């Protein structure tokens, strides 16, 4: 099994719909992150959590919310999806003090 698992892998949804992307990890890491990748823009941080009771906004949090249900689970929600949220979304984890992340395989989201 993968260390960081994202579901679904692909999703097409309609404008205005609520959608949740899920992430679970078996690394035992406290820190979890959600990034989105857009062509020409690289990876941009949406939200991050340093432990179960800690949630922080990243550089592009508008239109998104998150929930840290457990140490191993961190979900990202789009309350009312819009087309410019079409992107590749990545979840990542890291240990405190660690210098790098472990990424999931990504969720390709298309909002029509």
Least separation in angstroms between CB 66 and another protein: 15
Based on CB atoms, which residue is closest to another protein, 39 or 70? 39
Q: Which is nearer to another protein, 59 or 70 (CB)?
A: 59
Provide the residue count of the chain.
112
Question: Which residue, among 94, 86, 95, 90, has the nearest Cα to 106 in the 3D structure?
Answer: 90
List contacts with another protein (CB under 8 A): 4, 33, 35, 40-45, 48, 50, 58, 90, 92, 94, 97-106
**Distance of closest approach, residue 38 Cβ to another protein, in angstroms:** 9
- Minimal distance, residue 83 CB to another protein, in Å: 21
Nearest to another protein of 80, 105 (CB atom): 105
Cβ of 45: how many Cβ atoms within 10 Å?
16
Output the smallest distance, CB 40 to another protein, in A. 6
């Amino acid at each position: 099994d993968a260390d960081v698992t994202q579901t679904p892998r692909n999703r097409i949804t309609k404008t205005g719909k609520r959608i949740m992307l899920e992430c679970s990890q078996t690394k035992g890491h406290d820190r979890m992150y959600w990034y989105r990748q857009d062509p020409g823009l690289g990876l941009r941080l949406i939200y991050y959590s340093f432990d179960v009771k800690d949630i922080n906004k990243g550089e592009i949090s508008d239109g998104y919310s998150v929930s840290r249900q457990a140490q191993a689970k961190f979900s990202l929600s789009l309350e009312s999806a819009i087309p410019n949220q079409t992107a590749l979304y990545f979840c990542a984890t890291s240990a405190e003090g660690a210098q790098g992340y472990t990424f999931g395989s990504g969720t390709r989201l298309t909002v029509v």
